[in-house]
Amino acid sequence: MKFNKAFSLILVLAFFRVLSALPLSIFYTGDSHGVFEPKLGQDGLKYGGYPVLEEVLNRERAKVGRSLYLDSGDQQTGSIFASLVDDGVHGGAVIDVFNRLGLEASVFGNHEFDFSYGNTKDLAKRAEYPFVCTNLIDKPTGKPLGGVPFTILETGGLRVGVFGITLELLPEKVKAENVSSLRILPRVDAINLYLDEVERKSDLIVVLSHQGFEADSLMAQSLDHRVDIIIGGHDHIWSQEPIMVNGKWLLYSGSHLNWLGHAELEVENRRVVSLKNRLIPLVSERDEFKSPLNDFIAEKMETIQKQMSRVVGNIPLAWTPDKYRSTELSRWMAQALATEYQNIYKPELAIINNGGLRKSLPAGPITLRDLNELIPFNNTVTVFSLKGSDLIILDEINMLHAISKPHDICEIAGWEKIAHPQKEAGEFEYLVNGEKLDPDRVYRVISHDFVAGQWDKYLGFKPFDVYDTGDLFLDAIIHQVELQYGPEDEARD
């Protein structure tokens, strides 16, 4: 009789366990790109950065019961903090930050592969959280990169299965040699390999995706009902309202730690029965931050300041900026940007604004500090398209700006304007990489976010197919100075 009562009690508890909706909070970020310090706003408030994220995340966690913190990739590249080599690992300090923030799972973004395949694996080893690699297969072993095709996270008796999908076009977004040891599976096929197993072990299934909204939407259309949520990144979009595609919730928190995403769920009988989403602004009223995390960041910044004195290269000619005319400096910069990304995005043109170059440098050795002062803005490398006829508009705007000076001019690499030998004075022929300009042809351009965002001032036309890589323009230039003007042993690296 005692056995029957106990058994009945178990059945009753199981019954109510199935019928009762369990609350869960999922906090999420993505595309943080090494934003390590808050920016001071005109209102005196602090915006973004790891210290503000810590403050807001801890505050919001304290308000709820069950919670997880997840990330959709591209933690790396975009700041001098992310460029720090720590214990032999590029970007290792960034991983240490997320360890301290209590991140519970992430997915590799393309920028986690910026330095080398070995460095990518070192980042995963350093992390106290899993980088989930459902569709990335390490060719030498035949296993998912890091051996983690999925993970099961448990919080308050609720089990959450997590997949990780990195964009299939990864070899087009990073240096080919950095991912040559990877085989990239089709995203839906990769998830379906493990879906039965993950369903048995979990009450809820989440996909961390670093491939962009369009690819996420297509993936959602093809996945079956057992996948509940997709937390996306890569194209830096944000949405306060969750987006429903084929019965799946798609969530996006933007980039550069402007927001912390917070999805409030109720899970019942292995289904999400309700979901409310909000993006919490990462803003703080603090004058200063006091925490072990902030002490860690301050310690690393001392190391960075010492590294700033490192000589990067020896330039053969003086570099003197001029906002309103083409110079040796602006021509070199535009061409260097094109060269840096030639094997990745294959740009036909490069466009920069001359006003973004801010320091004169004599011929001879230049340091990291010199380059940081020459390019003091955190502009990110951006790719976009234009038509040939748009270049003629840009040329006219450049001539106007050079004379009346409402704005600085743009330097264009890959473009040539020559007097037409068979026409009247003042008439020109336009060439792109030595070939006659086709007004109707689409050309691909490498630039940065300031030019692309201020197109009405600098370009005179609205660019299309715009993609912000998240790379710092400064980092690209440092690399090219090292390659072209650094010591021979560094140049070979």
What long-range pairs does 434-442 form, CB within 8 A, spacing at least 24? Answer: 437/388, 437/391, 437/392, 438/388, 439/387, 439/388, 439/389, 439/392, 440/387, 440/388, 440/389, 441/387, 441/388, 442/385, 442/386, 442/387
pLDDT given at position 426: 61
Q: How far apart are CA 103 and CA 202, in angstroms?
A: 19
Q: What's the token pair of residue 214? A: 């369009």
The answer to whether the Cα torsion of 286, 292, 296, 302 is positive or negative is positive
Pair (296, 391) in one structural domain: no
Q: Are residues 58 and 99 in the same domain?
A: yes
- pLDDT of amino acid 304: 84
pLDDT mean over 237-241: 96
User: What was the pLDDT predicted at 450?
Assistant: 87
The answer to whether residue 428 sits within a structural domain is yes
Residues composing the chain: 493
The helix (run of H) or strand (run of E) holding residue 23 is strand 22-29
Domain edge (last residue) among 274, 302, 330: 302
Question: 446: closest CA among 368, 338, 324?
Answer: 338
Helices (H), 165-291: 170-173, 187-201, 213-222
In a domain, 5, yes or no: no
Asked if 410 contacts 451 with a C-beta cutoff of 8 angstroms, the reply is: yes
The reply to whether 349 and 451 lie within a common domain is yes
DSSP 135: S
Q: Determine the average pLDDT of the residues in 55-69.
A: 97
119 vs 305 pLDDT, higher one: 119
Whether 242 contacts 197, CB under 8 Å: no
State the pLDDT at residue 18.
45
Statement: the pTM of the whole predicted model exceeds 0.85: no
Neighbours of 19 (CB within 10 A): 9
- At 354, which CATH number? 3.90.780.10
**Residue 227 belongs to domain with CATH number:** 3.60.21.10
3 lies in some domain: no
**Together in a domain, 259 and 334:** no
Q: Within a domain: residue 13?
A: no
With CA atoms as reference, report the closest residue to 261 among 22, 23, 31: 31
Q: Which of 37, 28, 45, 61 is nearest to 283 (CA)?
A: 45
Let me know if residue 10 belongs to a domain.
no
Q: Which of 302, 324, 346 is the last residue of a domain?
A: 302
What pLDDT, on a 0 to 100 scale, did the predictor assign at position 13?
45
pLDDT at residue 103 tops 80: yes
Say if residue 295 is in the same domain as residue 330.
no
What pLDDT digit, counting tens, does each position of 271-286 carry? 899 999 999 999 999 9
CA neighbor of 231 nearest in space, from 258, 252, 262: 252
Q: What is the mean pLDDT of residues 463-489?
A: 90
- Kindly report the number of other CB atoms within 10 A of residue 157's CB atom: 9
Taking 50 as the threshold, does the pLDDT of residue 14 lie above it?
no
Mean predicted lDDT score pLDDT of the chain? 91
Tens of pLDDT, residue by residue over 244-257, are 999 999 999 999 99
For 426-475, where are the E strands, in sequence order?
428-432, 435-436, 442-448, 464-472
How far apart (Å, rounded) are the C-alpha atoms in residues 406 and 14?
Answer: 72
Q: Which residues make Cβ contacts (< 8 Å) with residue 363, sequence separation at least 6? A: 315, 316, 317, 318
pLDDT digits (tens, 9 = 90+) for 69-99: 999 999 998 788 888 888 899 999 999 999 9
The answer to whether position 12 is within a domain reads: no
In Å, how far are 274, 328, 376 from 248, measured between CA atoms?
Answer: 12, 53, 42
Question: What whole-number distance in Å separates Cα of residue 250 and Cα of residue 108?
Answer: 18
Structural tokens at position 401: 């700006």
Let me know whether 96 and 113 are in one domain: yes
pLDDT, one tens digit per residue, over 277-311 is 999 999 999 988 999 999 999 999 888 888 888 89
Which has more pLDDT, 341 or 270? 341
* Number of domains forming the structure of the chain: 2
Residue 79 burial (10 A CB sphere; 0-12, 13-18, 19+): buried
pLDDT score of 176: 78
Distances (CA, A) of 173 to 21, 143, 485: 42, 23, 26
Note whether 382 and 335 are same-domain residues.
yes
Residue 120, SS3? Answer: helix
Q: Is 9's pLDDT higher than 70? A: no
Mean pLDDT of 179-188: 96
Provide the domain limits for residue 342.
Answer: 310-492
Instruction: Please state the rounded mean pLDDT for residues 423-430.
Output: 72
Going by pLDDT thresholds of 50, 70 and 90, the confidence category of residue 12 is very low
The answer to whether residues 320 and 409 belong to one domain is yes
Whether residue 398 sits in one domain with residue 296: no
Q: What is the pLDDT of residue 479?
A: 94
By the 8 A CB rule, do 25 and 264 touch?
A: yes
Single out the residue of 280, 261, 279, 216 nearest to residue 29, CA to CA. Answer: 261
| Measured distance CA(383)–CA(194) in Å, rounded | 36
| pLDDT average, residue stretch 165-171 | 93
Q: Considering only 109-118, 256-265, 374-383, 470-479, which range has the smallest mean pLDDT?
A: 374-383
Residues 173, 45 share a domain: yes
**233/364 same-domain check:** no
Pick from 248, 270, 302: which residue ends a domain? 302
A 10 A CB-CB count for 227 gives 25
pLDDT in tens, 438-448: 999 999 999 99
Summarize the confidence of residues 185-196 as an average pLDDT: 97
The pLDDT of residue 4 is above 60:
no
Query: What confidence score (pLDDT) does residue 297 get?
Result: 94
For the chain, the distance separating the N- and C-terminal CA atoms, rounded to the nearest angstrom, is: 77
Q: Does 271 lie in the same domain as 154?
A: yes
Q: Phi and psi at residue 85, in whole multiples of 5°?
A: -90, 110
Q: Is residue 167 part of a domain?
A: yes
- Average pLDDT score over residue span 310-327: 95
With respect to residue 4, please indicate whether it lies within any of the assigned structural domains: no
Average pLDDT over residues 151-162: 96
Which has more pLDDT, 9 or 488? 488
pLDDT score recorded for residue 1: 43
**pLDDT class of 424 with cuts at 50, 70, 90:** low
Please report the pLDDT score of residue 195 as a whole number.
98
